[in-house]
Amino acid sequence: MNRFARLTVPVGIVGIVLLLVVPVPAPLLDFLIVCNILLALLILLTSMFVKKPLDFSVFPSLLLVATLFRLGLNVASTRLVLGQGFAGQVIDAFGKVTVGGSMIIGAVVFLILVVIQFVVVTKGAERVAEVGARFTLDAMPGKQMAIDADLNAGLITDAQARKRRAEVSAEADFYGAMDGASKFVKGDAIAGIIIIIINFVGGIAIGVLQRGMNVGDALNSYGLLTMGDGLVTQIPALLMAVSTGMIVTRSNAEEDMGRTASSQLMQSPNALLIAGLAAVAMALIPGMPVVPFLLVGAALLFGSRRLEAQQKKHNEAEDAKEAATLSSEEDPNERLMQDMRVHPVEILLAPDLVDMVSGASDDLLARVRSLRHKIAMELGIVIPPVRTRDNVELPPSTYAIRIAGVEAGRGTAPSGKLLALGDYLDALPGTSTVEPVFGLAGKWIPTEMRHSAEMTGATVIDRVSVLVTHLSSIVSANAARLLTREDVRVLTEGVRKQSPAAVEELIPGLMSLAEVQRVLQGLLEEQVPINDLPRIYEALALRAKVSTEPEALVETARQSLGPALAAKFLDGTVLNVIMIDPLLEQSMLEDMRPAEGGTQIVMSQARLDAVLASVQSSVEAAANAGRQAVLVCAPAVRPAVRRLVAAPDGGVPVLSYREVTSANIQIETVGVVRHAEAIQA
């Protein structure tokens, strides 16, 4: 079956070529004409039932093939009309029955069809296709950037991004093809007129000069055949022109055209009522046909009453549902306790920002749900539901993000504005600002200036994406605080189903749930994903038999995840590392002292400043060379070194030798941390 379908179009093209050069008998021509009419009707019906234009993406190519097929039939019918004076029963029926055997009626009907097709349908479809192609191409960069913004914010996956990019590209290709395909319809209408004139003149010439007919008989005989031939081809051509107009004027919808039209035309009982009364009033005008107007008016009035009753019933059901919801609410004390509870993650919105949770396409709540899924995939924890509420104390256009009741970040998201990030924003109207996550200079511009901003090379981000990106950064930075003991219990039960031996050996025999929680929090503080819990538990079970000191357990868990940790910083297959001078590293080992928060390196302030300056210069040198470097040191000093070089924004990543060598990667040294005092020591 698939092979037959694959060969249908090539075989059909070959058949069309044969129509142009090989005479066909009248019965076969009848069959092909019927196929042509039904094909045009099928295409028209298909264009009515598709939900969006891309569902019928083959239409431009199909339009070209159908046009070529119709012209081939014109050539074949012309050969029969001029050669035999008979072109089959279909053309004969259209010439005699459809127009009553009158050449004048046939000519008038043909001209009317041509005017409808050429002046009305084809002209409008051509203009709509041209405008649609232009607007689609202009909007393509903005759509691509919106997809990239959603991908960066974690709202969609890589596969979804690729699919959406392909849809954007396919949409641009489709409307570009429709812009060209509409010219086929226009050319087909012109060709139909020319072919009719040629057939008419040629038929009279053959009848008079070759067959000895008088002018009247030749005009009547060949004129009727010519008009029948013209109607046979113009009716499918008109159907194809209507299909073209219907495709280019369709917008993406959830339902086909019939359901959409009926639901939208029947949405207002007042409109039906007024139309029905107008029909009844027109029936009372003297000279007007009473019965048709009364029938239509009665149908409209009946539809109005029926629709009004349905809407009333629907509203009553909604009111009953709302009343049931209100009656089942919690009592005041429980509601008060709910309001008193400290929520793990909370978004406070100024009153003018509540439209962000209105349920539109950029609904904040839907984006937050996608963010929770993204963080779960990246860090291995399920953050609790994010509570969103308004706060009249916030300044206009301001939002605040709280973690465990404490404000962790604040920003602005003005209504009707977009955030433009770029270097050439001075010419754009708006309010200058600083992007809250990366600290980039930007400007809040009016929504209608999106295209102008994109033309300057700026990245345009909607305000919901700005808030969600800010929330993602804050949640990731506070992941350790959000991991509760109950979360650890749930995660552990999940591991028990997958790898029961790892859990039974570790908990509760070697470590308590609280100790496991502290280790996992230590990993999350360094942005280490904990989604590979079976491997982490197996490593902890071995180390816990020797010591349950938290710092040592965290290092053991990190070493079990070594390849995954190093993979985050790879440049292709190369890991760019900054080493610590062996003498300095030995000196650090000697200066290590235990403390409540973990081991610390105790050294003079001058020496500490010199070491930090050396680290900073090595990192900057690597960055200037276009490389992202990590600091590598001995496992024993890694926690202390990380605390030493850590900065509020995360500082330079610090890995141990074991974490680096456990991965099958190529290591390239791009810097060495040195200090004169370390050499003297």
Contact 471, 386 (CB under 8 A): yes
Helix, strand, coil percent values for the chain (each to nearest 5): 65, 10, 25
DSSP 8-state secondary structure symbol assigned to residue 60: H
pLDDT recorded at residue 12: 74
Q: What is the pLDDT of residue 35?
A: 84
SS3 category, 141: helix
Q: Tell me the pLDDT tens digit for each residue of 289-319.
A: 777 777 877 887 887 788 778 777 877 777 7
Residue 421 CA to residue 444 CA, distance in Å, equals 9
Question: What pLDDT is stored for residue 325 in this prediction?
Answer: 58
Q: What is the pLDDT of residue 181?
A: 66
Q: For the structural domain made of 568-680, what CATH number should be given?
A: 3.40.50.12790
Residues 238 and 117 sit within 8 Å (Cβ to Cβ): yes
Any bridge partners for residue 409, and if so which? 401
The per-residue pLDDT for range 58-105, each reduced to its tens digit, is 777 777 788 788 778 777 777 776 666 666 777 777 666 555 556 667
* Residues with Cβ within 8 Å of residue 548, at least 6 apart in sequence: 510, 511, 515
Contacts of 615 (CB under 8 A, 6+ apart): 578, 631, 645, 652, 673
Query: Residue 96's pLDDT is what?
Result: 63
**C-alpha–C-alpha distance, residues 84 and 211, integer Å:** 11
For the whole prediction, is pTM greater than 0.85?
A: no
Q: Report DSSP state, residue 600.
A: E
Does residue 420 contact residue 445 with C-beta atoms inside 8 Å?
A: yes
- How far is 267 from 223, CA to CA, in rounded Å? 51
Consecutive 10-residue averages of pLDDT for the chain (681 residues): 63 75 78 82 80 75 80 77 70 64 68 69 67 66 69 70 77 70 69 73 71 67 70 75 73 58 69 77 77 78 80 77 59 60 85 74 75 84 84 88 87 87 81 84 86 82 88 88 87 86 84 88 86 87 86 87 82 86 87 82 84 87 86 88 69 84 78 64 41
pLDDT of residue 681: 41
The DSSP-derived string for 229-290 is HHHHHHHHHHHHHHHHHHHHH----SS-HHHHHHHHHTS-HHHHHHHHHHHHHHHTSTTS-H
Angle at 280 between CA 275 and CA 281, to 5 degrees: 95
Which pLDDT belongs to residue 647?
Answer: 53
Three-state DSSP state, 412? strand
70, 2, 54, 12: CA torsion to nearest 10? -10
Helix (H, G, I), strand (E, B) or coil at 666: strand
Instruction: Enter the CATH code of domain 483-560.
Output: 1.10.8.540
What CATH number was assigned to the domain covering residues 341-479?
Answer: 3.40.30.60
DSSP 571: B
Token pair belonging to 228? 């029948």
Q: Are 673 and 631 in contact (CB under 8 A)?
A: yes
Q: Are 443 and 425 in contact (CB under 8 A)?
A: yes
Q: Which one-letter DSSP state was computed for residue 384?
A: P
pLDDT reported for residue 656: 87
- Phi then psi for residue 671, to 5 deg, are -175, 160
Place of tokens 């219990």: 489
Angle (nearest 5°) at CA 264 between 261 and 265: 80
Amino acid found at 476: S
Which strands, in side-by-side order, build the sheet including 629-633? 654-656, 629-633, 574-580, 666-673
C-beta separation of 125 from 341 below 8 A? no
pLDDT tens for residues 365-400?
Answer: 888 888 888 888 888 888 888 888 888 888 888 999
